[in-house]
Amino acid sequence: MLLLGVTVILQSASIREAVETSAPVYSWVIFCAGILLGWRFKRIQLAVALGVLFAAERAIAYFPAAGPSAPVGRVVYAAVALLLPFDLAAIAWLSERTMWTWAGRLVEGAILIQPLAIALLLRPELASVAQALQHGIDPSGLHVTKIPAIGLLAFLVAIALTALRFVVRRTVIQASLAWALLAALLGLNGDRAATTVYLATGGLVLIVSLIETSHRMAFSDELTGLPSRRALTDALMRLPEHYTIAMIDIDHFKQLNDEFGHAAGDQVLRLIGSTLTRTEGGGRPFRYGGEEFAVLFPGKSAAEALPYLEDLRETIEASSFTLRGRDRPKLRPEKPVRSIGRRPTLAITVSIGVAEPDEPGVEPDEVIRAADQALYEAKHTGRNRICLAE
Cβ(100)–Cβ(182) below 8 Å: no
Nearest to 292 by CA among 239, 347, 351, 242: 351
Please state, in angstroms and rounded to a whole number, the distance separating the CA atoms of residues 248 and 292: 6
C-alpha angle 150-9-1 in degrees, rounded to nearest 5: 75
291 counts as catalytic? yes
- DSSP string covering 343-354, please? PPEEE--EEEEE
Please state, in angstroms and rounded to a whole number, the distance separating the CA atoms of residues 110 and 129: 19
Which of the residues 57, 96, 291, 334 is marked catalytic? 291
With 0-12 / 13-18 / 19 or more C-beta atoms within 10 angstroms meaning exposed / middle / buried, residue 22 is middle
In three-state secondary structure terms, 296 is strand
> What residues pair up with 294 in beta bridges, in sequence order?
247, 286
Cβ(19)–Cβ(62) below 8 Å: no
* Crossing angle for the helix pair 149-168 and 70-92, to the nearest 10 degrees: 20
The secondary element (H helix, E strand) that includes residue 247 is strand 243-250
Looking at the chain, the number of H-run helices and the number of E-run strands are 15, 7
Cβ(293)–Cβ(276) below 8 Å: yes
Long-range CB pairs of 213-221 (<8 Å, 24+ gap) are: 213/43, 213/171, 213/172, 213/173, 214/41, 216/172, 221/273, 221/287
CA 352 to chain centre: 33
Please state, in angstroms and rounded to a whole number, the distance separating the CA atoms of residues 108 and 110: 5
Q: Which residues are catalytic?
A: 291
